[in-house]
Amino acid sequence: MKAFLFSLFACTAAVVAPAADDANMKAFPPADAGMSRYIITVPAQKDEYAFKIELIIGKTVKTDSVNRYFFGGTLETVSIEGWGFDRYILRKLGPMAGTLMAVDPNEPKVEHFITIAGDPKLFRYNSRLPLVVYVPDGIEVRYRIWRADLVATPANKG
């Protein structure tokens, strides 16, 4: 009997958990035509203040293997009225630019993931709410989890 009740509870929990995510997703509209919506959900952590999410937005392009390239672009923060949630929108990927080191013209092109220039885009780690990003079709959103050291090192007085 205990095993039956446990399995019934486990099944109920599995059905109820996605509903909470669906309730939060109602705040985030579907992507407009020509845009894609990316949804990032992260697992719960004991101390979520020790974590950050870095957004990495870009596109895979064939380039030479010597120069460093980047795209222009600005990620907007838009507050969703009535919900208090933010969503992030890249309306347009700017032109690709890069360094100008001379390259053998016969060297084959290689595929690289070229990102938007600028400082890393770090966001609060929140396992209870998805991080939702809208970008033009053909643009990819990746992310990386940053973790703080468990021990803070004291600074030297000088």
- Angle formed at CA 77 by CA 39 and CA 79, multiple of 5 degrees: 85
Q: Does position 80 have pLDDT exceeding 50, yes or no?
A: yes
This prediction has a pTM of 0.80
Q: Does position 23 have pLDDT exceeding 90, yes or no?
A: no
- Angle formed at CA 124 by CA 144 and CA 86, multiple of 5 degrees: 110
Banded model confidence at residue 134, pLDDT cuts 50, 70, 90: very high
Give the residue with greater pLDDT, 105 vs 137.
137
Structure confidence at residue 22 (pLDDT): 67
Would you tell me how many other CB atoms lie within 10 Å of the CB of residue 138? 10
pLDDT tens, 81-116?
A: 888 899 999 999 999 999 999 999 999 999 999 999
Q: Average pLDDT over the chain, rounded to whole?
A: 87
**Who's near 110: CB < 8 A, 6+ residues apart?**
62, 63, 64, 65
Could you give phi then psi for residue 112, rounded to 5 degrees? -130, 145
- Structural domains present in the chain: 2-147 (2.60.40.550)
Q: Which residue has the tokens 């990927």?
A: 93
Q: Which helix (H) or strand (E) holds 18?
A: helix 2-25
Burial class, 131, CB count within 10 angstroms (exposed 0-12 / middle 13-18 / buried 19+):
buried
